Chain A
Amino acid sequence: MTPTIARALGRFIVCGLLVLGSAASVLTSRPAQASSALVVPGAQNEHDLPWASDGEANVPYVFHDPAQEGRVTGFEYELMGAIAQHVHRHSRFIQNGWDGLIPGLSRGLYAMVIDGIEMTPEHKEAVLFSHPYYVTSDRIMVRRDQQGLESLAALNGHAVGTIKNTAAERLLLQQNNVFVRSYDEETNLFSDLKNGRLDAVLIDEPIAHYYGSDDMKLVGPPIGTVAYGIAFPKDNPALRDAVDHALTTLQHDGTLHRILARWNLWTPQMAAYTGDKTTLDIKPQAWEDYRRTMESMSGSSFHAIMYRYVRFIPLIGQGAVMTLAVSALAMILAVAMGVVLALGRHYGAISIKILCGTYVEIVRGTPLLIQVLFIFYGLPAFGIRLSPLVAGVLSLGFNYAAYEAENYRAGLLSVPRGQMEAAIALNMTHFQALRLVVVPQAFRTVVPVMTNDFIALIKDSSLVSVITLTELSQTYIRLSSTYYDYVGTGLMVGLAYLLIGLPFVRLARMAEKRLGRVVGQGHH
């Protein structure tokens, strides 16, 4: 192990400790920059307006149209198109998980976030908000046969579900005796209400309308007021002001009204908020289309279902390619770095031994998910901005390097000392002895464990979906939540994982067989 690598490693570890202590303060205390021209973070050119939302199970905000594969739609999606037109740019949607939306904004991945984000005081501390573009309330939804859960107080003693980090969740948590279940996704929330795991759901009215089925009903009056705002980075008031200006115009010229009416979302509450008392003669076309698609899917024939699965294949293929790319690159990194760490820990000077050992223990002792988020969202605080793919490969590679290092070290330890001595006595250099004698023998004991690790890595690569990479697991989540189909898509995605893993198993078998004739002989 060279001193340069050792120094770099040391720096990495020190950085890690520093960030853990100060990430929050660094992220929130960035100086605001004044600028006259419109600064659009994440834009690829002067016509680009990149914005993010979580398009998984997010009807009717931003979602993947179940009627047409690969098409994104939703009332927020249409609103962003109209806003982009007003600031003379092209709207570009970027998918990111709900939890990653605001971190991605702080990181400069995109210019704004629109995803039914409530303008709470806590949120206002982290981001800038536009004017509200939609005002609504929370509603209680129950199964059709359920009686007597018509107010917040009546929910006491019952299991009530909602979406996490929402006003509804906070309301529920303030109640004394409600068993609150917080979900990431509306699909899961409503299927749990349907199958009886939940007694009621407290949720934003638009979601209740779109996800509720015939065997559910809305009960009681609207609760509280929820206002959605578009979120901007703290240091970009100019962009916020430009979008606010656009929003005001869209409100006055009726564009917002028309969009909402198409989605059946124009309510007396919105009329009161905007002061727009007109009635437009607009069919709720988007709403009806969506309902029709959902109905047609529930009663599909075998043939139609099969046809739909065939249409999934290209999407799953794309996800599989991403999974394979991330896994393969991460493996190469893990093996190379693992060898360096193992040799450093086995043969290095005492300081290098300690350094390598510390790295291994820290990386093995902390969750991979934290490492992925840290590398992608944490490192930019130090000026290190990595693309999602690079960040995914690095975090997986760094993580597995620690496991590989321990595996290789065990392999090196399994080679008797006399082997190295015999090589030195034959006048080989240390490096020649390692390359020709010790490492090839260590390799044999290492291969079976490595195969295991690689298969585990392929599966762990699903974690990089939290940093906007659409790989196999993300594809599964999208397809299953769009079509309410967890079985068929699950089997297809599972099969794809198996197919990716199999070649590695075969390869390892071959390597083991080739090395199999070698039986340990020296003893010491």
Chain B
Amino acid sequence: MVLQAKDIRKSFGDNDILRGISLEVERGELISIIGPSGCGKSTFLRCLNFLEHPDAGNVRIEDVELTSPRHWHRRDEAQAHRLRAHVGMVFQSFNLFPHRSVLDNVMMAPVHVKKMDHEAARRIACELLKKVGLGAVKDRYPDRLSGGQKQRAAIARALAMRPSVMLYDEPTSALDPELSEEVLSVMRALDEEGMTQLVVTHDMRFARAASDRVLYLEEGQIVESGDPDVMFANPREARTRRFLRTLLS
């Protein structure tokens, strides 16, 4: 088990976004998280690397464990820092650094966070960019890339930190179908290499075809989880069925 989340809770004011979500992820799994807008799936993902501080709950990734404290202290931030060393994250809006070239985007964290030797970081970055199909455009600035290229660069940037788990927050929502495909095929390739991946997505085709497991979230809780073929063909819960039916109609 590479990731374990226990009873994650989060509210914004009176609004309970997460009402106790627990999840165990085995190494190499690809899990799709689906559900209606506002169901808390993005918030849950952001709680896993403490980009959002959960009100309560516990996350363990590899050997680093952090129970969300009532008040956030320096030592908690230090623990979150250790935990993030095992997690990579990809955003819907890419969030590449526009003032640096694609190569610099990928090298920046290894050089400054891991204090990696400049040459070594460069070698790794070039390799990763070649792997995601961006070897030819590595010296461009992000604004000169297409959306699909940007998201693949963002994946390479996250991979450069050698994470055990990759988190994707709606990675293809801002992309046309054919550009989405470039990104999804990179994710499938990573799955084949044994990367553990959690994907918040609206792309039901990808969720069904590529996932080892699908989680259906509604109102801050996991309604149903299981094998994608089973769930899409024959959901156990009425709420899941209703959600899938509205998507198809």
Chain A residues proximal to chain B, CB less than 8 Å: 416, 418-419, 421-429, 432, 436-437, 440-441, 444, 515, 517-524
Contact = CB atoms under 8 A, between A and B. Distances in A.
Contact of A522 (B84, B95, B158): B95
B179 to A, nearest CB: 16
Give the interface centre of A422, A432, A517, A524 by most chain B CB atoms within 10 Å. Answer: A422
Contact of A437 (B49, B97, B141): B97
Given A421-B51, A436-B108, A522 B96 contact: yes
A439 B88 CA distance: 23
Given A517-B141, A521-B142, A425 B51 contact: yes
Contacts of A436: 97, 108, 112
A419 B97 CA distance: 7
A436 B98 CA distance: 12
Interface in B66-122: 81, 84-85, 87-89, 91, 93-99, 108-109, 112-113
B158 A426 contact: yes
Nearest to A429: B81
B161 interface: yes
Contact of B97 (A422, A429, A523, A524): A422
Contacts of A440: 99
Contacts of B84: 424-425, 427
Nearest to B167: A425
13 contacts: A421-B51, A422-B89, A422-B91, A422-B96, A425-B49, A425-B158, A427-B85, A427-B113, A441-B98, A515-B99, A518-B98, A518-B99, A522-B96
B112 A418 contact: no
Contact of B98 (A424, A426, A521, A524): A521
A421 to B, nearest CB: 6
Interface of B: 49, 51, 81, 84-85, 87-89, 91, 93-99, 108-109, 112-113, 141-143, 150, 154, 157-158, 161
B144 to A, nearest CB: 9
Contacts of A426: 108-109, 113, 157-158, 161
A421 B88 CA distance: 12
Contacts of A523: 93
Nearest to B111: A436
A422 B150 CA distance: 14
A425 B87 CA distance: 8
B81 A521 contact: no
A447 to B, nearest CB: 13
A521 B51 contact: no
A421 B90 CA distance: 10
A421 B161 contact: no
A423 B112 CA distance: 11
B161 A520 contact: no
B137 to A, nearest CB: 15
Q: Which 6 A-B pairs have the closest CB atoms?
A: A422-B95, A426-B109, A425-B89, A418-B95, A521-B98, A519-B143
Given A418-B95, A426-B113, A427-B113, A518 B81 contact: no
B143 A521 contact: yes
B199 to A, nearest CB: 15
Contacts of B109: 426-428
A427 to B, nearest CB: 4
Contacts of A429: 81
Contacts of B51: 421, 424-425
Contacts of A515: 99
A522 B98 contact: yes
Given A425-B51, A429-B81, A519 B113 contact: no
Contacts of A441: 97-99
B95 A432 contact: no
A522 B93 CA distance: 6
Given A432-B112, A436-B112, A521-B143, A427 B99 contact: no
A418 B93 contact: yes
B14 to A, nearest CB: 22
Contacts of B49: 425
A360 to B, nearest CB: 27
Give the interface centre of B88, B108, B157 by most chain A CB atoms within 10 Å. Answer: B108
A477 to B, nearest CB: 46
A524 B96 CA distance: 13
B16 to A, nearest CB: 23
A428 B97 contact: no
A351 B157 CA distance: 37
A408 B15 CA distance: 34
Contacts of B158: 425-426
B145 to A, nearest CB: 9
B111 to A, nearest CB: 10
